[in-house]
Amino acid sequence: MLLAGASVDPDSRYNATMRVTLFGASGLLGHGLVQQLGTEQLTALSSKDADLRDRTRIRDVIHDSRPDWILLSAAYTDVDGCESNRDLAFAVNCEGAIHVAEAARDAASRLLFLSTDYVFDGAKRSPYEVDDPRNPTSVYGETKARAEERLLDILPEVCIARTSWLFGHGGKCFPATILKLASTRPEISVVDDQRGSPTFTRDLASALVELCRADARGIVHVTNSANCTWYEFATEIVRASGLPTKVNPVTTAEFPRPAKRPAYSVLSPDSLHAYNIHLPDWKDALRRYLDGTLAAVSVVT
């Protein structure tokens, strides 16, 4: 468990310190949230500190920390693994979220829940709006869709932040995988018929804190701007890193996975813009990610 607290810069947009309890502090997004929340009264919890399946533990943690806001980014995010571990996926992603929501209600705390573009089926060809029907095609997407529905019943004022295609420092992500493959292979093949918006955890974390400060509620779509296919994403990663590897486009049918992915899962930014929050283009985010990655490598070497 990590505890942090400090005063907020008086020149910042907001000057009141929040009490925040974060579930999922050791995850990819959790690392970014811990950094972003460093000036708040933060209780940051990993799965070892608080297992979402343990209702009593979750209730006690929230009762003791008395947060203004609870950020629930902890989840079972292995999309393919969820297909063969359905019970575990629902126990963590749905029932676990319900445990947090019930404890939040009892403690009169606000809750921000991280959800996903995978609640949609990908049949649409224009950006998904917050009120478009949920129709998940994978177990992972189903767990998140059902959790959204239950949380809105338990806590009508909950804020549900849907995001997509996360990448960042401190864990496994698509750019890290591509860089590793491209450093050892002359050619790689990447799916070119799935389209979404890559989202940098640093930008997402900043936006989530802004949403808390704005007393956000309801469903909000939070991604970096613009969109691409996985092939286009990989091509930009290789180009920007200066590697000579050739990237070849392939179809989803040529690269089967246990879980079905949406062919199109671009999320409309209108709900985020309504709070006057605008995130940079994914290419700008990727450049900053690569700058940080290369800087870390140079320090190690």
**140 in catalytic set:** yes
Catalytically annotated residue among 128, 140, 231, 264: 140
Q: From CA 185, how far away is CA 233, in angstroms rounded?
A: 18
Task: State CA 14 to chain mean position distance.
Answer: 24
- Residue labelled with tokens 């020149």: 11
Catalytic residues: 140
